[in-house]
Amino acid sequence: MRTLSLICYAAVLSVSTVISAQDISGNVFFNYTHSGEKDAVNGFGFRRVYITINKKVSDSISYKLQTDVDYNNSPQYHLYIKIAKVDWKTNFGKVVVGLQGMNMFKVQENTWGHRYVEKSAMDQFKYSASADLGIGMYRSINKFGFSTLITNGSGYKKSETDSHKKISFRTVYGEQKLNKNDGFNVGGVYSTEPYDVDSVTVKSKTVIGFFGGYSGKGFRSGVEWSRKNDAGIDVTSQLTSLYGNYRVKPNVAVFMRYDKVSPNTQESSEDKNYMIAGLEFSPGKGLIIAPNYRTAGSENVIVLNFEFKF
């Protein structure tokens, strides 16, 4: 693994030497966590270290290469490829080929707007991988956006192990980047992925979700509801997420999020609640600091999040 990380690192450096600095960017998520729980791990750590290379080859072709680190292997921080894709603009829409971001929760993640603090709800509770290898089609008609992806279904950290493929759909009406622009959106997502239970039986994992968001006059809010069903083990889980952000000053904002998860609605299992409340402050371009408080059941945690951009 360490050898592979060095190879990836060398490859990124080699590519970057032939690309102008304007095409390279970086984004680092860094935090300090303090928990009063017994045997809890308190300390500093990296959560993400993105190095991104974007290049427009022509009016219709562009590519993106993005690396990240595996923070679970601290302090080695093994490097891996997160995104490696080509965008092809056609008269019928944009075709994306390669290792690419999924379409299941990107709009919701933009509405939440605090990815450096915490993943979006569907990502946090494993309703979908954030990236996968395959092919996607995106098309916009007026204020409507449509996308369809056919991917391995194993995500970006695992190899494909069967012949089945995951199909993901998204439709949205309105502004898709409420963290940058005022407006509103409503939409829905759906994915299905067959898998082999045994040599003769095939079952499917399906996810369906609906979402909406609004941004204006310094206020941004969103709501989403999702349901995941695994027919192979006969388990259906349900997720509801509410979040809001209010900008007190141009460089100061307060935010809050509440997630409710029902792990198995068919057995009336106990719901799980997760809440985040915090303050966001930007002392200058490229740096954001966010002290926040989190509670998940009986566990209470204080976190100081940082985001560095260049």
Average pLDDT, stretch 3-26?
57
Q: Which CATH superfamily is domain 91-309 in?
A: Porin (2.40.160.10)
Residue given tokens 């952000």 in the structure block: 245
pLDDT digits (tens, 9 = 90+) for 202-242: 999 999 999 999 999 999 999 999 999 999 888 999 999 99
Please tell me the distance from the alpha carbon of residue 259 to that of residue 224, in angstroms, as a whole number. 10
Coil/strand/helix, residue 271: coil
pLDDT level of residue 159 (50, 70, 90 thresholds): confident
Q: Would the pLDDT of 36 be above 90? A: no
Which of 1-10, 41-50, 275-284 reaches the highest mean pLDDT? 275-284
The mean pLDDT value of the chain amounts to: 90
- Output 204 or 45, whichever has higher pLDDT: 204
pLDDT level of residue 4 (50, 70, 90 thresholds): very low
pLDDT for residue 77: 67
Q: Which of 146, 109, 150, 145 is nearest to 127 (CA)?
A: 109
Instruction: Show the tokens assigned to 218.
Output: 């310094």
pLDDT level of residue 22 (50, 70, 90 thresholds): low
pLDDT level of residue 1 (50, 70, 90 thresholds): very low
pLDDT level of residue 199 (50, 70, 90 thresholds): confident
Q: Would the pLDDT of 6 be above 50? A: no
pLDDT digits (tens, 9 = 90+) for 84-137: 999 999 999 999 999 999 999 999 999 999 999 999 999 999 999 999 999 999
Where exactly are the structural domains of the chain?
1-34+43-53+62-80, 91-309
Please tell me the distance from the alpha carbon of residue 211 to that of residue 124, in angstroms, as a whole number. 16
CB contact at 8 A, 14 and 24: no
